[in-house]
């Protein structure tokens, strides 16, 4: 099951050319990832532990401009879980259509705040991440 949120394009999302600026999409994608963590109960795990998430790479393809008043549907799934990093797949479409606005693979690590290094994904940490994978597959 994928996690889906909608974002309505407002005037403050637009740039000088009256479409959504490319950098705004990164904010939309981040909002969707936070929403995923909240909806699966994983955010509480991170808030109560010594771990934090850090994006290390984003590969994004822009397919179509988005304009004021349109509603974007952002679908987020956990793509892979490695030993120290994970990748989420995110797809932005126009709500109610198959029109792809953008798609991205977002790689991140879980940082142990005690060491400031990427944590090995094992034990409870791995179980938490695998739950995201199985619940969004």
Question: For the chain, which residues make up each domain, given as ranges?
Answer: 3-136
The pTM of the full predicted model, rounded to 2 decimals, is: 0.91
Bridge pairing between strands 71-81 and 117-118:
unpaired
Do 51 and 119 contact (CB within 8 A), yes or no? yes
Q: Which CATH number fits domain 3-136: 2.40.40.20, 3.10.129.10, 3.20.20.80, 1.10.3720.10?
A: 3.10.129.10
How far apart are alpha carbons 107 and 118 in whole angstroms?
A: 13
Q: What pLDDT, on a 0 to 100 scale, did the predictor assign at position 113?
A: 93
Is the CA virtual torsion 18, 20, 24, 28 positive or negative?
positive
pLDDT digit string (tens) for the chain, length 137 residues:
689 999 999 999 999 999 999 999 999 999 999 999 888 878 888 888 999 999 999 999 999 999 999 999 999 999 999 999 999 999 999 999 999 999 999 999 999 999 999 999 999 899 988 888 776 54
| Beta strands per DSSP E along the chain | 3-8, 51-62, 71-81, 85-94, 100-112, 117-118
Do 95 and 86 contact (CB within 8 A), yes or no? no
Q: What pLDDT, on a 0 to 100 scale, did the predictor assign at position 136?
A: 53
Give the active site residues. Answer: 15
């Amino acid at each position: 099951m994928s996690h889906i949120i909608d974002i309505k394009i407002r005037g403050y999302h637009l740039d000088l050319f009256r479409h959504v600026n490319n950098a705004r999409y990164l904010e939309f994608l981040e909002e969707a990832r936070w929403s995923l963590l909240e909806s699966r109960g994983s955010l509480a795990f991170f808030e109560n532990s010594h771990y934090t998430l850090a994006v290390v790479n984003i590969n994004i393809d822009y397919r179509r401009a988005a304009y004021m008043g349109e509603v974007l549907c952002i679908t987020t799934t956990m793509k892979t879980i490695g030993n120290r990093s994970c990748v989420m797949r995110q797809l932005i479409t126009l709500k109610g259509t198959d029109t792809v606005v953008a798609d991205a693979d977002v790689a991140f690590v879980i940082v142990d705040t005690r060491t400031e290094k990427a944590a090995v994904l094992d034990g409870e940490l791995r179980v938490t991440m695998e739950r995201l994978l199985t619940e969004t597959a």
